[in-house]
């Protein structure tokens, strides 16, 4: 591995640790007073929302296919993990271990559903695929409304509260890092090639259906992890929470942030997670605010705010260092003239 890449990884890890330490100190010092738990809750919500939105961006941005059923995969992960933890909670397992098991089971259940849906659905493209994913999400929602184990349409409560902010933060960091490495891998670049020219990719010998199903399954896996975090933070849920509007909100966050940019998805998800709390007095206008922001972005920045641009801490440090050195270089040049 080149030294520059190793240095980049070290700098990014240090940046993530510094951010965590800063947030940990903020919450532990009780500077926010009575609002500490409230603000921590918003940050926890942002963590699982970031996972959901970035996983959806794997489909919309990197594969170029619209999916309006992401809330369905989220609900599969949420209910599968909740059912498991409810059965294991009385065995006295450490909460951290139980949390990790819940995430893995939620992700695996959603991934299995992703394979089942993806194999027939991903032979379609464009509007047809969007319609199929909407139908899938509705089928899942109606099924959960009728299964006794999921509450038979009533609120499923009594779920263990395992989604502590500090654990969710590191789960979010790991998930986003894995997704970033995936998009830069051979598989991710193949998916991007399919997005750019479907016919040329197929003519080059790429098994288009295989890679689309693979990408769909990976996206569903991380949606299931986000659903598991959601379930164990809210501790109660009802199938109607995972409706079409929830999928549409996630798609809105992807488009506003920038299709093809994980940075845009992260910032868009974090911003739109805090927006409902900031507009609590005007909650009935939340969807209207989303719509206005989306229209403005489509008019002035059709590719999203960040487009395909990705933030790099290493690049930022390099630019700051170059900016600091520039005046000294100019002074040195004048001295020799």
pLDDT at 221: 96
Nearest to 256 by CA among 237, 279, 229, 275: 275
Average pLDDT over residues 5-24: 86
CATH code for the domain defined by 32-306: 1.10.3470
Kind and range of the H or E run holding 47: helix 36-60
CA 284 to chain centre: 25
Mean pLDDT check: name the lowest of 5-14, 56-65, 138-147. 5-14
What secondary structure does DSSP assign to 287-323, as a single string?
HHHHHHHHHHHHHH-TT-SSTT----HHHHHHHHHHH
Main-chain phi, psi angles of 32, to 5 degrees = -80, -5
Question: Residue 335: pLDDT above 50?
Answer: no
What the block records as the tokens of 239 is 């199938």
Contact in structure between 69 and 55 (CB atoms under 8 Å): no
Which residues are CB-contacts of 255 (< 8 A; sequence separation ≥ 6)?
60, 294, 297, 298, 304
| pLDDT tens-digit series, residues 82-97 | 999 988 887 878 899 9
pLDDT (average), residues 95-104: 93
Q: What does the pLDDT read at residue 317?
A: 78
* String of DSSP letters for 139-173: HHHHHHHH-GGGTTTS-B--------HHHHHHHHH
Cα–Cα separations (whole angstroms), residue 244 to 139, 247, 251, 258:
11, 5, 11, 21
Q: What is the C-alpha to C-alpha distance for residues 27 and 32, in angstroms, rounded to an integer?
A: 7
- Sequence-ordered alpha helix ranges (H) in 89-157: 95-121, 127-146
Return the axis-axis angle of helices 70-88 and 95-121, rounded to nearest 10°: 140
Measured CA to CA, the distance from residue 37 to residue 275 in angstroms comes to 18
- Please state whether 67 falls in left (phi above 0), alpha (psi between -120 and 50) or beta: beta
At 268 the pLDDT is: 80
pLDDT for the residue numbered 279: 61
270 against 328, higher pLDDT = 270
Under 8 Å CB-to-CB from 311, ≥6 apart: which residues?
263
Whole-number average pLDDT of the chain:
84
Give the Cα separation of 78 and 59 in Å (integer): 20
pTM: 0.89
Residues contacting residue 21 through CB under 8 Å, at least 6 positions apart: none
Domain ranges of the chain: 32-306
**What pLDDT band is residue 337 in, cutting at 50, 70 and 90?**
very low
Quick: pLDDT tens for 263-305: 888 888 887 777 666 666 666 666 677 778 778 887 888 777 8
Determine the average pLDDT of the residues in 244-262. Answer: 84
Please tell me whether residue 114 adopts helix, strand or coil conformation: helix
Digit-coded pLDDT (tens) for 154-186: 888 888 899 889 999 999 999 999 999 999 899
| Rounded-to-10 torsion of CA 32, 35, 39, 45 | 160
pLDDT tens digits, residue range 183-240? 989 998 999 998 888 888 888 888 888 899 999 999 999 999 999 999 999 988 998 8
Cα(302)–Cα(336) distance, integer angstroms? 49
Cβ neighbourhood burial of 90 (10 Å; 0-12, 13-18, 19+): exposed
């Amino acid at each position: 591995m080149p030294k520059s890449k190793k240095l980049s990884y070290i700098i990014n890890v240090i940046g993530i640790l510094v951010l965590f330490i800063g947030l940990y100190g903020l919450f532990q010092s009780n500077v926010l007073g009575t609002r500490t738990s409230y603000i921590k809750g918003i940050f926890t919500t942002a963590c699982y929302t970031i996972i959901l939105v970035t996983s959806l961006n794997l489909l919309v941005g990197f594969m170029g296919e619209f999916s309006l059923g992401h809330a369905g995969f989220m609900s599969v992960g949420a209910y599968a993990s909740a059912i498991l933890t409810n059965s294991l909670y009385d065995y006295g397992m450490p909460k951290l271990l139980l949390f990790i098991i819940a995430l893995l089971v939620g992700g695996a259940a959603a991934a299995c559903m992703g394979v089942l849906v993806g194999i027939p659905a991903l032979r379609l493209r464009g509007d047809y695929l969007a319609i199929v994913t909407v139908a899938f999400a509705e089928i899942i929602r109606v099924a959960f409304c009728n299964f006794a184990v999921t509450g038979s349409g009533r609120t499923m409560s009594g779920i263990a509260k395992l989604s502590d902010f500090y654990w969710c933060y590191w789960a979010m960091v790991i998930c986003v890092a894995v997704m970033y490495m995936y998009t830069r891998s051979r598989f991710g670049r193949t998916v991007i090639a399919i997005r750019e020219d479907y016919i040329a990719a197929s003519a080059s010998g790429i098994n288009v259906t295989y890679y689309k199903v693979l990408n769909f399954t990976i996206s569903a896996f991380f949606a299931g992890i986000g659903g598991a975090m959601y379930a164990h933070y809210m501790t109660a849920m009802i199938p109607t929470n995972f409706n079409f509007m929830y999928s549409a909100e996630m798609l809105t966050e992807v488009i506003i942030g920038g299709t093809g940019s994980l940075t845009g998805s992260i910032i868009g998800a974090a911003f739109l997670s805090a927006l409902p709390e900031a507009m609590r007095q005007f909650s009935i206008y939340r969807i209207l605010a989303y719509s206005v922001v989306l229209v403005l972005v489509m008019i002035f920045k059709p590719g999203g705010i960040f487009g395909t641009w990705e933030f790099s801490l290493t690049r930022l440090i390099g630019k700051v260092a170059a900016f600091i050195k520039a005046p000294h270089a100019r002074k040195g040049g004048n001295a020799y003239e």
